[in-house]
Each structure stands twice: as structure tokens, then as C-alpha cells.
Amino acid sequence: MIAQNGYAQVSRHDPSSGRPGFAFTIGLEQSRKVPELICLGIAPDVAAQLFAICIEGHDASLCDLAAGTQTVSGLVDGYSLRFQRVSPVMVQTANEVRPDRPSDISEMVQLVVPDNDGFFPGDAECDPGIAASQDIGWLLTEENRLS
């Protein structure tokens, strides 16, 4: 996947667990010199579609994934997407879960999606379930640690 597309996706999702799934890219730092992307609370196939949309948008100069924290419109009709830098602890955690890692991820941004009404986690009006499913803090607790 990395040789063909410049990136691959690592995903973890078990619907029976009751916990949100997550996915992240590997290869973007090398192929495009931009941070890797991580997405939470979305099924792996949907995350793959969102990653492709964002990367194609970057390649077409519709957005700049290297810009870090930002809100971007125009990639998905009728919706904005948000990118926010993640902590070094989250980057380290992602590196620990990678099955084969010739090099470590050094920078990562979270792709945050709005609820059906266009509100993002952190907005008072955001659907609480959507906000909770994208809370990166749950991945960093010992109980839910990526492994």
C-alpha cells in the first residue's frame, strides 16, 4: 500500500467492545512530508475514505495537511473537517502499536468530523456521543492503551 499509494492504514475496531474504533496512516511523512492522520470513532472503511479525500485534497492543493490545526471546507460537500495536532504521547502510542516500523512517526494530526448538524467536539451543541467517540484521551488510558 505504501509503495503504491504513498501511505497505508492501521485500523483497530471491534464493534462488540462498545468502544470507538480508530485508524491512522503510515507513510505520509515520507511520501508527502506531512503529518500522519489519525481518526477515531469511525469504522475503518469510512476512515479509509476520509483519509483518501483529505490526501487527494492535499495533493490538489485544496488543503495543506502540513498546516496542522485547522478547519477545512470543500473536501466533503456540506461539511467542514477539522485537523488538530496530537500530543507527543499519542504519537508514541501509535508507534507502539505499529506491526512493522522501519521508522517512527514523528508528527500526527487528528482528523475530526462534525456531528450531523455540523458541530465539532468541543462545541456546546455537538452530539455528546460523537464528541465522546472522538476523544483521543480514551486511547491514552491504561485500560484502553493501543496494543
Domain ranges, ordered by start, for the chain: 2-138
pLDDT bucket at 109, cuts 50 / 70 / 90: very high
Instruction: Using the CB atoms, write b or e for 4-38: b if 16+ within 10 Å.
Output: eeebebbebbeeeeebbbbbbbbbbbeeeebbbbb
Predicted confidence (pLDDT) per residue in 14-33, tens digit: 777 766 678 999 999 999 99
Beta-bridge partners for 25 = 9
For residue 80, pLDDT over 70 is answered with yes
CB 138 within 8 A of CB 124: no
Q: Phi first, then psi: give them for residue 73, nearest 5 degrees.
A: -110, 160
How much is the CA Rg of the chain, to the nearest whole Å? 14
Helix (H) or strand (E) holding 79: strand 79-85
How far is residue 64's CA from residue 60's CA, in Å, rounded to a whole number?
Answer: 9
- pTM score, whole prediction: 0.89
Predicted confidence (pLDDT) per residue in 60-70, tens digit: 999 999 998 99
